Amino acid sequence: MNWSHFLTWVAALYAGYYVALILFDYARNKRPRSLESGELTFTEDILPKKIEHLPDKTESPPKQPAKTESAIIGSGGVSLKNLFGLCREEAIIYTRPVSF
């Protein structure tokens, strides 16, 4: 058996397999369906109930809290702008090598 003969058999087996799958799907889906539209519908046994309209409460929108410094600055950190300034002044001491 050479390679071309082997590959021909493999291709024929794959083709037969896929034809069998297509025919199986066609036979399975040939049965009539009760819902031809393909939509799912659900029924609920809930009846609507009328309720009284409650008047809207006239409340002012919630007040915005006063802007404070960010948590980074509050904990002793520096902002990005100040970090670049410190780098220009060479005020940062490197304790270990920086890898890029």
In tens digits, the chain (100 residues) has pLDDT values of 799 999 999 999 999 999 999 999 888 876 555 556 677 777 778 888 888 877 766 666 677 766 665 666 556 677 788 888 888 888 877 777 777 6
Decide if 53 is inside a domain. Answer: no
pLDDT at 15: 97
Question: pTM (2 decimals)?
Answer: 0.31
Decide if 23 is inside a domain. Answer: yes
Tokens for 54, please give them.
């409650």
DSSP symbols for the chain: --HHHHHHHHHHHHHHHHHHHHHHHHHHHTS--S-SS--------------PPPPPP--PPPPPPPP---HHHHTT---HHHHHHHHHTT-PPPSS----
pLDDT at 74: 59
Decide if 83 is inside a domain. Answer: no
pLDDT at 11: 96
Domain count, the chain: 1
Tokens 């005020």, located at residue: 91
Decide if 64 is inside a domain. Answer: no
pLDDT at 36: 62
Decide if 11 is inside a domain. Answer: yes
Q: Which domain holds residue 9?
A: 1-30
